[in-house]
Structure 1
Amino acid sequence: MTDIVISAQTATEGEHRSLNFIPGSNFLGILASELYNNTENETQNYDIFHSGKVRFGDAHILYNNQRSFQVPFSWFYPKGGKLTGDEIFMSDFMKSESRTHLIDKGIVLKQARDGYFTSEGIFLSPKKIYTQKSGYDSEQRRSRENAMFGYEALTEGSDWQFAVDIDNVDISNDIINLIKKNLTGEKLLGRSKTAEFGRVVIKFIDSVDVKSSIIIPKHQFLFLYAESRLVFRDKETGQPTYTPAPEDLGMPLGANILWERSQIRTGMYAPWNGKRNSRDEDRVFIEKGSVFTVEVTDAQEYSTEGIVKGVGYYRTEGFGKLLVDPDFLDFDQETGKLILSLKYPPPDDKNEVAAPETILIKWIKQQELKQHSDKDGVLREVDNFIHDYGDKFSNVTKSQWGSVRSRATQAKDADVLMKNLFARPDQDKQTTEGDLYHGVSENQWTEGRDIFEERIKTLMQQKVNVLLFVEKLAARMQKKGGDQ
């Protein structure tokens, strides 16, 4: 109904960065504000808020009634590209041939970290708005000096979904109905609820049962995807740890975490307790989106009851949720390519505001399409040149190709690059020789220099991006290091 402020930190000054999800502790707090003051039924309060039998999950943005997931950190995509449209790889499971193929094409992979997606591959980013505020001096009846701060908020009008997990065997239907009644309707959550933020409407959707077991084949790799943030403690010291044991993740005996094939990110924050109006102790956690790779050595049917109820600490507040082998981590065993591909929602979707089709917008879109096609054309030219003439440069060293690449990235246009590489003293009264005609390195360039120069001139006439061509060519040849 209104923008909501879900700050990543509990600080009261400076910038307030918003989370991309709504932590389950907010829904626990809503219910506690309705029920906890009822001291006549302490057993009921204990069952709901302290027993661990009722767990309030995080809320994630919805698209077409499908919930979204944080992008897994095991996804990698080409640097400079996008998750939408480009190929996505499970880098830790790529074979050397596939990795070499990418290197030969000058492609460097980058870890995916931000964004959400649905099971159908729709890529989402929750919309946010930033509001600047100032503290108020009630005595002077004006803004307080040196008390500026800002809120980043999740925008109104979006749909979100969360789940409340309840152990039906231990919790009566009367308590379940009480939870539904007091958790639905118009509520307030987040920060600045007494101002213009935090008003939401919560509706009950449906009840579902959860599968209690899976069959694990021997020597099977399992992926454990952190659906929520995870908190673990060392069993001996009681201190927080980022390296849980397999049994901490609900895995059976004989399981082994393959850390070299896992992708983990961590964080820390100090939670705010509204009842005590103070902060709790700092929590160090493993970020949602982290992926554990686990090897199981014994074939068995394995109960996932421990995982369904959550792992680690603070499960009542939405921590500790894992997914076992979700479909969105399936990949081609030969190439390491992800089976799922991502795309943006249609521009008329309510989560994505369509840009007006002005003349300027149309021109910008045309330029983006042209740049994309230009880059593809340049890469094809690079492939063709290496195929046809790569052996002409067998004497050129990696450092010499590195110098050429540096010239291409620093030159302001193709003419400057041509002079820097190919100028002779008798050309245009120039006294400085080009790099390929200068010093002891000239002999290494002799066999292929003229071919290189003529190809660049031809591409200039064809209006091809010569700077990009030379940059990509030099990068490829530098990696080959003269062993064409």
Structure 2
Amino acid sequence: MSQTLYFSLRLLSNCIISQSGATAGDHGCLDYLPGSTLLGVAASRLYADLPQEQSNLLFHSGLVRFGDALPMSNGEHSLPVPLCWHHIKGEGIYQVSEPQLNADALFDPSRKSPAEGKQPKQIRAGHVTASGQLLKAHLDYELKTAINAETGSAATSQLFGYQSLTAGQEFVFSITIDAQVDASLVQQLEQSLVGPVLLGRSRSAQFGQAKIQKITGLPESTPVSADKTLRLWLLSDLALLDDMGNPQVTPTAKALGLPEGSEWQVNHSFIRTRSYTPFNSKRRSYDLARQVISRGSVLVFSLPRALTDQELHGLRFAGQYQESGLGCMAINPPLLANATPVFSAAKTVKVAAPKPLSQPNSLLTRVLQNKHAALNLNGEIEEQAQKLVAAIQSALSSAARWVGLPEGYYPADIPARTQWGEVRNVAVTYSKQPEKLAYELFFNGEQNSKNNNAHAIMRKRAGQPAWKLEINATETLADCIEQALQVIPANIRGQVLALACTKLMSDKRLTQSQQGAKA
């Protein structure tokens, strides 16, 4: 028997996983992370330190299979959408809104014909959860140019672009390990993966940062016997060979190890194929080209007899390159049991509790703790700055209504870019002195007082008209800003104000001084 380990992977920065290893032409990005990428992470950390025999066992024998990392949303994992699912062209597939699918809108045309005059359309992209959520990867595209090493400027005619998976997305992958692999070796493998990792292309730039954690609670897929009908849902690409050792993209019973007399039901199957040449970054060269049946394909076979439990268990993986995640299949899965899918309640995974550090008082621990605290503080500053900007925008809208301007317009005397910049400079200068900051911004003493600060930016008397802009009968814009700052923690008040001013300076709607400037 075998054991399966499950891990979650969260992207901390954009990640480039190219569909092709070609160096010319535009680059498309996969909407998942292939098992070969995760194998490479483990190999980069273990290969050189292990004896050759153990390295071969982990990375070349096929006894350890690194599965593809597939999208996860709200703790629920997904699988490649099956190509047998169709919907009526021109009609919606969602129950109310994305991403919840409407099961009644989906059907398998080989088992349920559409109404007369209706045209079926195949769903070819995305990943589906057991509860019917259709997850689609979020992708970015960035245009770049090579740099001339001699001049330090952009190189001529060397413009290129990268499509990448955006940061913040979560994925789930599994590692299936046969019983022949020693438990201590499995533990080393697990420890090599957990923690920060670098993935994909351009790792030396700003791409590829991710974090891996072990998880539990993922439901195990149990092969189900369905008498003399076998339905295989490819969860990853499938690479088969014919009797001569050549690639074949037509599935046969013999290539899959099915009993003699089994027949492929072409009219009930749905397949797509592709060809690609993977690039091995360790060797700096290409591997052999692969012709595969694409993930998501559905293969249906008629059998001369029902399969035994041992035969069903052996069918979970088939074909070549299993160590890299290829050949993983779901056998008679519940989602494909009927012509129309039946979705179940959502089942979420659980992240394993992190193990305590062996040296809690070490220098490394303190550095990491300080960085973690800084990240949390930066997040709070960003959140408070957004609230402050919203409060200022609301005050300006109130000022517009007070003078009778129509909805969507601001008064003429709103603060200009230079005025926000002046406030920002003061906020930066006194970011750690909240009392001094308030004094420099809002001093409201008597005009002839000895303590009168004539340079206070938002002073009520003899100040600039923008800060005396009336919000209502009793309040000005300066009053509004002063009140909004009071609810912000004193230790971050200056940083929040500086960031808010930066946001306001970049908002053209709030830096126009013409009468009736449009909001």
What code does the residue aligned with 1:221 have? T
**Residues 326-375 of structure 1, C-alpha deviation per residue, up to 9 Å, x if partnerless?**
111132xxxx44434999xxxxxxxxxxxxxxxxxxxxxxxxxxxxxxxx
Q: Quick check: which has more Rg, 1 or 2? A: 2
Q: 1:266 aligns with which of 247, 264, 273?
A: 273
In the TM superposition, what is the alpha-carbon distance from 1:247 to its structure 2 partner?
Answer: 3.4
Distance 1:57 1:257 in 2: 26
Question: What is residue 92 of structure 2 aligned with on the other side?
Answer: 82
Q: 1:54 to 1:65 in 2, by over 3 A?
A: same
Question: What is residue 431 of structure 1 aligned with on the other side?
Answer: none
Asked if 1:195 corresponds to 2:205, the answer is: yes
Question: What is residue 226 of structure 1 aligned with on the other side?
Answer: 234
Q: 2:168 aligns with which of 146, 152, 157?
A: 157
Equivalent residues in 2 for 1:359-398, closer than 5 Å: none
RMSD: 2.2
Asked if 1:298 corresponds to 2:305, the answer is: yes
What code does the residue aligned with 2:289 have? D
Asked if 1:144 corresponds to 2:155, the answer is: yes
Retained in 2: the 8 A contact 1:13–1:148?
no
Q: 1:84 to 1:341 in 2, by over 3 A?
A: farther
3-state SS in 2 of match to 1:22: coil
Q: 1:115 aligns with which of 114, 126, 136?
A: 126
Question: What is residue 291 of structure 2 aligned with on the other side?
Answer: 284
Asked if 1:4 corresponds to 2:15, the answer is: yes
Distance 1:53 1:277 in 2: 26
Distance 2:106 2:163 in 1: 30
3-state SS in 1 of match to 2:229: strand
Q: 1:315 aligns with which of 308, 315, 322?
A: 322
What code does the residue aligned with 2:235 have? E
Retained in 2: the 8 A contact 1:265–1:286?
yes
Asked if 1:51 corresponds to 2:61, the answer is: yes
- TM-score by length of structure 2 reads 0.60
Q: 1:329 to 1:125 in 2, by over 3 A?
A: same
Q: 1:300 to 1:66 in 2, by over 3 A?
A: same
Question: What is residue 367 of structure 2 aligned with on the other side?
Answer: none
Distance 2:260 2:71 in 1: 36
Distance 1:214 1:329 in 2: 12
Distance 1:289 1:2 in 2: 28
**Residues 419-468 of structure 1, C-alpha deviation per residue, up to 9 Å, x if partnerless?**
xxxxxxxxxxxxxxxxxxxxxxxxxxxxxxxxxxxxxxxxxxxxxxxxxx
3-state SS in 2 of match to 1:200: strand
Distance 2:158 2:263 in 1: 52
Equivalent residues in 2 for 1:126-145, closer than 5 Å: 126-145=137-156
What code does the residue aligned with 2:265 have? L
Retained in 2: the 8 A contact 1:330–1:340?
no
3-state SS in 2 of match to 1:30: helix
What code does the residue aligned with 1:88 have? L
Retained in 1: the 8 A contact 2:239–2:326?
yes
Retained in 1: the 8 A contact 2:195–2:213?
yes
Question: What is residue 29 of structure 2 aligned with on the other side?
Answer: 18
In the TM superposition, what is the alpha-carbon distance from 1:300 to its structure 2 partner?
Answer: 4.6
What code does the residue aligned with 2:332 have? D
Retained in 1: the 8 A contact 2:130–2:345?
no
Question: What is residue 170 of structure 1 aligned with on the other side?
Answer: 180
What code does the residue aligned with 2:270 have? Q
Distance 1:247 1:302 in 2: 19
**Residues 391-444 of structure 1, C-alpha deviation per residue, up to 9 Å, x if partnerless?**
xxxxxxxxxxxxxxxxxxxxxxxxxxxxxxxxxxxxxxxxxxxxxxxxxxxxxx
* The 10-residue stretch of structure 1 (207-216 or 129-138) with the greater mean CA deviation from structure 2: 207-216
What code does the residue aligned with 2:314 have? G
Asked if 1:339 corresponds to 2:342, the answer is: yes
Question: What is residue 36 of structure 1 aligned with on the other side?
Answer: 47
Q: 2:250 aligns with which of 226, 243, 247?
A: 243
Retained in 2: the 8 A contact 1:255–1:294?
yes
What code does the residue aligned with 2:75 have? N
Q: 1:341 to 1:79 in 2, by over 3 A?
A: farther
Retained in 1: the 8 A contact 2:88–2:119?
yes
- TM-score by length of structure 1 reads 0.64
Distance 1:202 1:340 in 2: 29
Q: 1:171 to 1:300 in 2, by over 3 A?
A: closer
In the TM superposition, what is the alpha-carbon distance from 1:297 to its structure 2 partner?
Answer: 2.4
What code does the residue aligned with 2:108 have? M
What code does the residue aligned with 2:182 have? S
Distance 1:139 1:211 in 2: 57
Q: 1:276 to 1:130 in 2, by over 3 A?
A: same
Distance 2:220 2:171 in 1: 21
In the TM superposition, what is the alpha-carbon distance from 1:241 to its structure 2 partner?
Answer: 0.5
Distance 2:43 2:64 in 1: 12
Question: What is residue 476 of structure 1 aligned with on the other side?
Answer: none
Distance 1:300 1:15 in 2: 46
Q: 1:71 to 1:133 in 2, by over 3 A?
A: same
Q: 1:327 to 1:212 in 2, by over 3 A?
A: closer
| Count of residues paired in the alignment | 326
Q: 1:209 to 1:290 in 2, by over 3 A?
A: closer
Retained in 2: the 8 A contact 1:221–1:293?
yes
In the TM superposition, what is the alpha-carbon distance from 1:144 to its structure 2 partner?
Answer: 1.5
Question: What is residue 91 of structure 1 aligned with on the other side?
Answer: 109
Distance 1:272 1:300 in 2: 38
Distance 2:55 2:270 in 1: 38
Distance 1:37 1:321 in 2: 28
What code does the residue aligned with 1:320 have? G
Retained in 2: the 8 A contact 1:84–1:342?
no
